[in-house]
Structure 1
Amino acid sequence: MIEIVIMDHLKIHLDSKIGVGLERPTTTPDSFIIFEKTSSGEDNQIHSATFAFQSYSKKSLYEAAKLNEDLKAIIKKMDELPSILSVKLNTDYNFTDTSTKEYRYQAVFDFKY
Structure 2
Amino acid sequence: MIIEEYVRNFLNERMSAPVLLQIPKKDIPSSFYLIEKTGGLMTNHIKRSTLTIQSYGESLYDASVLNEKLKFAMEYHAIELSEIVSIELDGDYNFTDTTSKKYRYQAVFDIVHY
TM-score, scaled relative to structure 1: 0.93
Question: Aligned with 1:85: secondary structure?
Answer: strand
Deviations 1:35-75 (A, max 9, x none): 110001001111000001110012x1000000000011111
Runs of 4 or more, structure 1, over 4 Å off, are none
The 5-angstrom pairing of residues 41-52 of structure 1 reads 41-52=41-52
Q: What TM-score do the two structures reach when normalised by structure 2? A: 0.92
Secondary structure at the aligned position of 2:96 is classed as coil
Q: What are structure 1's unaligned runs of at least 5 residues?
A: none
Q: Cα deviation per residue 1:11-31 (whole Å; 9 max; x = unaligned)?
A: 10011xx12111012311120
Q: RMSD across aligned C-alpha pairs, in angstroms?
A: 0.9
Query: Partner letter of residue 14 of structure 2?
Result: H
C-alpha deviation, 1:81, in angstroms: 1.6
Could you say what secondary structure the match of 2:84 adopts? coil
Note if 1:19 corresponds to 2:18.
Answer: yes
Match of 1:56 in 2: 56
- 1:34 matched to 2:34? The reply is yes
- Unmatched 5+ residue regions in structure 2? none
Identity %: 44
